[in-house]
Amino acid sequence: MTEARRISAAMTAGLCLLLPTRVAHGTGGQQALADAIQVHAGATCLEATAVAEEVASWLGTETADSDVWVQVDGSPDDPRVVSFRVGRGDRLLAVRRFSPGPERCEHLQAALALAIALAIKVSLLDEIVGPPEPVAREMPTLETREPWTLGGDALAAFGVLPRVAFGAGIEAQRAFPSDLAVRLGVVGLAAWTMNLAGAPGTFDAQIFAGRLDGCVRRDLARRFSAGGCFGLLVGALSSQGHAFPSPRSASTAWTAVASALEMGVGVTDHWSLDTEITLIEPLHRTQVGVLSANGDVVEARDLSSVGATVSVGTSYRF
């Protein structure tokens, strides 16, 4: 566009803002602004009715042409980030984004409504600046979620070892579009002073394993998410005997399938509190036992039962 053409467009835009609202409308049917404006608030304070009323106050009318549409999307986790599109039929007229917008809710709503009203007003400039690209009516969700997460949690395990076990885990995960994520972590569990029926001593047992999961997560409400994960635990199980005539230590490979349900509550824009329940299903049998002087198994206890872990921790997105 030449300089003269830009000046002409700017002058026409200025005149358009001064003209009565009816000049910006076509000769077709009319619709209520509340029907033309679609609002997906996300983490913001925006309300569809309030936005439509604000736009109407700027335009001086509560109606718009029947082919006018407005789509507003708030960030799923940032109350000050919002974007919108304004179009007529299959033609895109304006795209705007506030990142960040005003901190106070009423100021954010007023600024958004003014920008929408101006975009509708200047739709008469299409003939000057040229027609925009055709677009689909559906607007993609605003992507502001950070892709990486680091977290740590405390664990309690039930049934994984013969006695309630405690431990901790750390993990890193990478989020992808369509609510998918991949998680890689390390888990440790330990239980102490477990008994063998008919044997005088006790034994301790520990599990250390790496974990790889595929997950699906969704934001269900402002700062609240839920999801599920399925993966594999691969590591080692070790045990130590105490108060036996000849106590020994032993270790063996340990693998299990893990199926988890999780929930997260955002505390800040980057930090969240998380809880998870995981079903642990070992893939092979492991026992600990007492041997006689001849090497025969006198007493044994199974360490490969199906169990569950409950974890509570924090995570940081970046």
Instruction: Please list the residues that pair with 316 across neighbouring strands.
Output: 150, 271
Does residue 10 sit within a domain?
Answer: yes
Same domain, 125 and 155: no
Same domain, 200 and 290: yes
Given a cut of 90, whether residue 153 has pLDDT beyond it is: yes
End-to-end CA distance of the chain: 41
Same domain, 155 and 278: yes
Same domain, 107 and 231: no
Same domain, 89 and 227: no
Same domain, 114 and 180: no
Q: State how far the Cα of 68 lies from the Cα of 116, in Å rounded to an integer.
A: 11
User: What per-residue confidence (pLDDT) applies to 246?
Assistant: 79
Q: Which of 102, 129, 156 is the last residue of a domain?
A: 129
pLDDT range class, residue 140, cuts 50, 70, 90 = very low
pLDDT range class, residue 125, cuts 50, 70, 90 = low
Same domain, 229 and 156: yes
Q: Which of 129, 159, 179 is the last residue of a domain?
A: 129
Q: Which residue has the tokens 């000769």?
A: 27
Same domain, 247 and 295: yes
The rounded percent of the chain whose pLDDT value lies above 90 is 33
Domain count for the chain: 2
**Cβ neighbours of residue 10 closer than 8 Å, sequence gap 6 or more:** none
Cα separation values, 158 from 25, 163, 167, 190, Å: 67, 7, 12, 11
Same domain, 313 and 229: yes
Same domain, 7 and 79: yes
pLDDT range class, residue 3, cuts 50, 70, 90 = very low
Same domain, 170 and 294: yes
pLDDT tens readout for residues 230-272: 999 999 999 998 888 778 888 999 999 999 999 999 898 889 9
Please state, as a whole number, how many other Cβ atoms lie within 10 Å of the Cβ of residue 111. Answer: 16
Does residue 137 sit within a domain?
Answer: no
User: What per-residue confidence (pLDDT) applies to 136?
Assistant: 47
pLDDT tens readout for residues 158-197: 999 988 999 999 999 998 877 899 999 999 999 999 888 7
Does residue 136 sit within a domain?
Answer: no
Cα separation values, 149 from 78, 180, 234, 314, Å: 17, 13, 22, 10
Residue of 107, 84, 108 whose CA lies nearest to 97: 84
Q: State how far the Cα of 90 lies from the Cα of 30, in Å rounded to an integer.
A: 17
User: What per-residue confidence (pLDDT) applies to 200?
Assistant: 80
Q: State how far the Cα of 11 lies from the Cα of 2, in Å rounded to an integer.
A: 14
Instruction: Please list the residues that pair with 183 across neighbouring strands.
Output: 173, 213
pLDDT range class, residue 208, cuts 50, 70, 90 = very high
DSSP 270-293: SEEEEEEEEEEEESS--EEEEE-T
User: What per-residue confidence (pLDDT) applies to 219?
Assistant: 82
Q: Which one-letter DSSP state was computed for residue 24?
A: G
Q: State how far the Cα of 194 lies from the Cα of 240, in Å rounded to an integer.
A: 10
Domain containing 181: what range?
148-317
CATH number, domain with residue 268: 2.40.160.20
pLDDT tens readout for residues 35-62: 989 998 888 888 889 899 988 888 888 8
> By the 8 A CB rule, do 62 and 28 touch?
no
Does residue 177 sit within a domain?
Answer: yes
What average pLDDT does this structure show over 281-303? 79
Q: Which one-letter DSSP state was computed for residue 29?
A: -
Does residue 228 sit within a domain?
Answer: yes
Same domain, 31 and 109: yes
Q: Write out the two tokens for 107.
A: 């100021």
Does residue 142 sit within a domain?
Answer: no
Does residue 274 sit within a domain?
Answer: yes
Does residue 140 sit within a domain?
Answer: no
Computed over every residue of the chain, the mean pLDDT equals: 81
